[in-house]
Amino acid sequence: MEKVFDSKTLTSILSESSLKDYSNIRIGGKAKYLFIAKRVSDLSLIITQANKANLKILPVGGASNILFGNVGDRVLILDRDIPQNIAFKRDEIVVSSNYNINAFIDEMMKHDLGGLEFLSGIPAHIGGAVHMNAGAFGKSISSYLEWIEIISIKGKREIIQKEELHFDYRKTSINGFIINAAFKLESKPEKDILTEVQNIISTRKVRHPYDYPSLGSTFKNPAGYFAGKLIEECELKGTRIGDAEVSKKHANFIINRGNAVFDDMIKLIELIKKEVFEKKGIMLELEIKVIN
């Protein structure tokens, strides 16, 4: 590896690693600079050293909605091995960004705190969910957010209040690596939260394909429409390129039937966009992130 990063000051560097091992859809090639940080302080060091080398930085988090192509010289950072924590501060709950959203919901349920049940079953980390303003059933995570702590693109720790951020449908103005998020949740009996969680997960299992790897919803819902319904009405369910397939269960999911590669996914995505635009006059916008 080129002498870009000082291995003496960092706890972990993984070079030439396959991103397939970290992708929910099991697609990805080799990465020149892939870091699995062991501590928050490493994030600042990695970002600072990457900036000095003029390398682009990509916070990956849990990689639950990222399609990896050729990442080039980008510096990819995973936070899964950084110690997790939850702290109760007055009426706020502060949680580390690498906490799995489902584990967080379960932990809060023990304290009769709810509100985020609508995210049950989504395989995301808190940081990723906040960064994309994750939502379902007409609700969004930003409604419960109070503030975030980030490592900025300059490598500095900063706390940003919710009022300083812009939230939109599946996107935010956040620019940096989220390390902590503070929430104000609702007081709810544990049994009521559990019932809602079970109902939502049951609904997802009926509607969504869990038998093959995927990145969840591929496209955002256009205003007044459902992307999956548009795709289904274009008779694209089951359409397959290589091992990438439009799920027969939910048309807004593209699944990997075994050995799908990046090009299979991109060709299928472009085919879907073309067909929906030609037949419905609507240009679909990606909800997943494509890195290439």
Q: Is 120 a catalytic residue?
A: no
Do 72 and 31 contact (CB within 8 A), yes or no? no
AA letter at 261: V
Q: Is 275 a catalytic residue?
A: no
Q: Choosing from 44, 140, 170, 245, which is the catalytic residue? A: 170
| CA separation for the pair 216, 210 (Å, rounded) | 9
Give me the residue label for tokens 């870009």.
4
Sign for the CA dihedral angle at 167, 170, 176, 181 comes to: positive
Do 67 and 27 contact (CB within 8 A), yes or no? yes
CB atoms within 10 A of CB 283: 11
Q: Which residues does 186 contact at the CB level (< 8 Å), separation at least 6?
A: 113, 114, 115
Q: Is 90 a catalytic residue?
A: no
Q: Choosing from 117, 149, 245, 287, which is the catalytic residue? A: 287
Mind spelling out the 3-state secondary structure of 45-98?
HHHHHHHHCCCCEEECCCCCCEEECCCCCCEEEECCCCCCCEEEECCEEEEECC
Comparing CA positions, the residue from 27, 69, 70, 33 lying closest to residue 51 is 33
Do 265 and 257 contact (CB within 8 A), yes or no? no
Q: Choosing from 17, 44, 64, 217, which is the catalytic residue? A: 217
Question: Which residues are identified as catalytic?
Answer: 170, 217, 287
